[in-house]
Amino acid sequence: MNNVRDKKRANKSLPFFFRTEFKVFFTIILVSTILLISTFSFDTVPPILNRGIQPATFPKGLLVIIIVLTSIIYYLSFKKPWKKEKNLPKPFFLTILSFIIFIIISKTLDFFLAISVLSVFVSYHWGERRIFYLLLVSIIFPLVVFIFFEMILGLRFPPGIITNIYYY
C-alpha cells in the first residue's frame, strides 16, 4: 500500500511535462486537433444532397467530445494522480523493433521471410536458445501456416523472393 502511495508521489513530484498524465493528454489533444483541422478540408455536399448534416460534422463532434473528455481526465489527474507504470523492459522495445523490421522486409523482400525473421528475432530475444525451437517458430510453423492458407484456404500471398520460387 505504502509502496503504491510512494510511486504516486514520485509521479507527482516530476515536472508537469514529464508526468504520464500530461504526456497522454498532450498526445491525444495533439492528434485530435490535427484530425479536427483536417475535417475542415472534407468536401461538402449541396443542401439538396445533404442528409441531415454535412459529412464532416459527425467526426468534428466526436473529436470535440474526445478533446473535452481528455481535458477532464487531465484536470482530474491533479486531484488523483495516476499510478506510475514500471519502465518498459528491453524485450518490449526489441519486439517493437521486430515489427519495424517485419514491415521493411515484407515491403521490400518477402512476406514469408518477414514472418520468419520476426519469429526467430522475437523468440531469441525473449530467451529461446534451443536451435530446434528456433527452427520450429521461424521455418516449420510459418511453412505450415503458408501451406494451410495457400492450399486449404486458396489464398495467394504477395510476390517476394521466396514466395516467387513457390509460385513460378
| Interacting residue ranges for another protein, rule: CB under 8 A | 20, 24, 28, 35, 38-39, 42-45, 49-53, 55-56, 58-59, 62-63, 65-66, 69-70, 72-73, 76, 82, 85-86, 88-89, 91-92, 94-96, 99, 102-103, 106-107, 111, 115, 118-120, 122-123, 126-128, 133, 136-138, 141-142, 145-146, 149, 152-153, 155-158
When the beta carbons of 70 and 168 are compared against another protein, the nearer one is 70
Cβ 63 vs Cβ 36: under 8 Å: yes
Q: Give least dist CB 137 to another protein, A.
A: 4
Residue 7 or 95 with smaller CB distance to another protein: 95
**Closest residue by Cα to residue 116 from 136, 100, 91, 94:** 136
CB nearer to another protein: give 40 or 168: 40
**Cβ nearer to another protein, comparing 9 with 92:** 92
Are the CB atoms for 84 and 7 separated by under 8 Å? yes
Q: How far apart are the first and last CA of the chain?
A: 64
Least distance (Å) between residue 41 CB and another protein:
10
Q: How far apart are CA 157 and CA 56, in angstroms?
A: 37
Contact 155, 104 (CB under 8 A): no
30 vs 155 by CB, closer to another protein: 155
Contacts of 8 (CB under 8 A, 6+ apart): 81, 82, 83, 84
What minimum distance in Å lies between the beta carbon of 125 and another protein?
9
Least distance CB 16 / another protein (angstroms): 16
Please check whether residue 63 is in contact with residue 75, taking contact to mean a CB–CB distance below 8 angstroms.
Answer: no
Q: Cβ-count burial of 19 within 10 angstroms (0-12 exposed, 13-18 middle, 19+ buried)?
A: buried
CB of 6 to another protein, least distance (A): 19
